[in-house]
Amino acid sequence: MDVLVGQLFTGLSLGSILLLAALGLSLTFGQMGVINMAHGEFIMAGCYTTYVVEQLISATGVALIVSLFVGFLVGGLLGAALEMGLIRWMYDRPLDTLLVTFGVGLVLQQAVRDIFGAPAKNVVAPHWLTGGLTIAGTVVPKTRIFIMVLAVAAVIALAAALETTPLGRRIRAVVQNRSLAETSGVSSRLTDVSTFFIGSGLAAVAGVALTLIGSTSPTIGQSYLVDAFLVVVIGGLGQIKGTVIAAFAMGLLNSFVEYSTTATVAKVIVFIVVVIFLQARPQGLFTVRTRSLA
């Protein structure tokens, strides 16, 4: 029982981390179709933002909350710069964006190494997040609970923004039919930049959360990049609902398989399940229903 609850929780917590890492990608990759290999480095930017903010504000509790907002801004600005500087010229060349953003990712990694040094930096978790709570006989780290709450909050915020705000309507319009949206007076340029801003900002928020469990080092983002792409593909491109379900499914599957086997075997099995699933359902869990002919 103890083990079951422990692993259930581990799975949900891993799922929330995957969800945070993939949420931004569900916008930039899922909705806009840009294969952004620098997404991992935007996550890393969030980690280092937290480190810098913590150096400036020594109260760690305040610093973490401030970092969530500053991180979103930093990630967003990096994303907007990438979109305006490079990606805007290659919307019809997905393979080129893959290579270009991969290069940008490497540049960002080296830049961080030059500025902060190669060794991992220590981000101190606030005291109200140290230790764990005992739930149903098992100790659950408070940091993990925080990350789950954050993931849920991020999903609700993003869904609300897409559903109710004028920007959200513009984003959905451009995704579903770019030329028709433009004919109706929507500026697709501005919408593209805004979408990238939000998607990359969310990546950095994931990075802020990751400082609580992982290492703040130049390569941290790479550990999550592939998983984030998998989650978006399984969920169905452009589907937040799908992204949520896929993230938790992968998290739970991974944690239960890993408990009875090993971490390496768990990764392999998750990959096999993903491949089989995509054979049966290449479009992912959900698809966008549009009236466009494209």
Among the listed residues 255, 270, 284, 286, the single contact to other proteins using CB under 8 A: 255
C-alpha distance across the termini of the chain, in Å: 51
Among the listed residues 25, 45, 80, 210, the single contact to other proteins using CB under 8 A: 210
33 touches other proteins by CB under 8 A: no
Q: Of 264 and 279, which CB lies nearer to other proteins in the complex structure?
A: 264
39 touches other proteins by CB under 8 A: no
Locate 54 and state its tokens: 């913590």
Residue 133 CB-density burial (10 A; 0-12 exposed, 13-18 middle, 19+ buried): exposed
CB of 143 to other proteins, least distance (A): 6
Among the listed residues 50, 143, 191, 194, the single contact to other proteins using CB under 8 A: 143
The answer to whether the beta carbons of residues 118 and 218 sit under 8 Å apart is: yes
Report CA 243 to chain centroid distance, whole Å. 10
Q: Of 181 and 220, which CB lies nearer to other proteins in the complex structure?
A: 220
- Residue 20's contacts (CB-CB under 8 Å, 6 or more residues apart) are 147, 150, 151, 154, 202, 205, 206, 209
# residues contacting other proteins (CB under 8 A): 44
- Site residues for other proteins, 262-281, by CB under 8 A, read 262-264, 266-267
118 touches other proteins by CB under 8 A: yes
- Name residue 54's amino acid: E
CB of 40 to other proteins, least distance (A): 12
CB of 85 to other proteins, least distance (A): 26
Closest CA to 48 of 150, 107, 116: 116
Residue 8 CB-density burial (10 A; 0-12 exposed, 13-18 middle, 19+ buried): middle
Half-sphere exposure of 173 (CA within 13 A, CB side): 19
Among the listed residues 49, 101, 200, 217, the single contact to other proteins using CB under 8 A: 217
Among the listed residues 38, 204, 212, 230, the single contact to other proteins using CB under 8 A: 212
The answer to whether the beta carbons of residues 42 and 207 sit under 8 Å apart is: yes
CB of 165 to other proteins, least distance (A): 34
- DSSP, collapsed to helix, strand or coil, labels residue 292 as coil
22 touches other proteins by CB under 8 A: no
Residues near other proteins (CB under 8 A) are: 2-3, 6-7, 10, 13-14, 17, 113, 117-125, 130-132, 139, 141-144, 210, 212-215, 217, 219-220, 222-223, 255, 258-259, 262-264, 266-267
